[in-house]
Amino acid sequence: MWNIKKIKKTFNILGLYNEFNAKYFGNKLGECKFEDSADPCDYIPAVAAIEYRNRRNGAKAATITFNSMVDWDERSIRQVLLHELIHFYVFTRLGFCPCFQHGLFFIINMLRINIMHNEHVRMFWHGEKITWSKDRPC
Ligand SMILES: [Zn+2]
């Protein structure tokens, strides 16, 4: 079981966030918090989930929750964090819109990052026990 302290420390999440924000999103991503789903009340059906906030000053913020039950490793953390950050980027640029979830803007940015930067972001996650699917927020 992974809690957020262990995830942050093991994979240097804040370092990865800063690296991705600078490299792939022009430092346009705002405040981002990271949590785990270790508490049964925070249960999420997906490998990860993101929640958005509009702050009073108009800035966009987000909280990313990692599923504590996933068997995380360097590669999966990188892929999943990037997937969620693309969602954050779409929200930052467009707010809530019809193509918000895994729409065109998400796909274009996923392809841009995968092709130009040799990453392996996926739209859906086919883990052994926990998956991302179309009708689940992730
Ligand atoms: Zn997603």
DSSP output for 69-109: TS---HHHHHHHHHHHHHHHHHHHHH-S-TTTTTSHHHHHH
Q: How far is CA 134 from CA 41, 84, 103, 127, 131, in A?
A: 23, 15, 11, 15, 10
6 CA → ligand 1 middle, Å: 23
Quote the ligand 1 centre to 73 CA distance (angstroms): 19
Rounded to two decimals, the pTM is 0.88
Q: How far is the CA of 57 from the centre of ligand 1 (A)?
A: 26
pLDDT digits over 35-92, tens only?
Answer: 999 887 777 778 898 998 999 998 999 999 999 988 899 999 999 999 999 999 999 9
Which residues have beta carbons under 5 A from ligand 1 (an ion)? 138
Q: Rounded to 10 degrees, what is the CA torsion of 42, 45, 50, 53?
A: -50
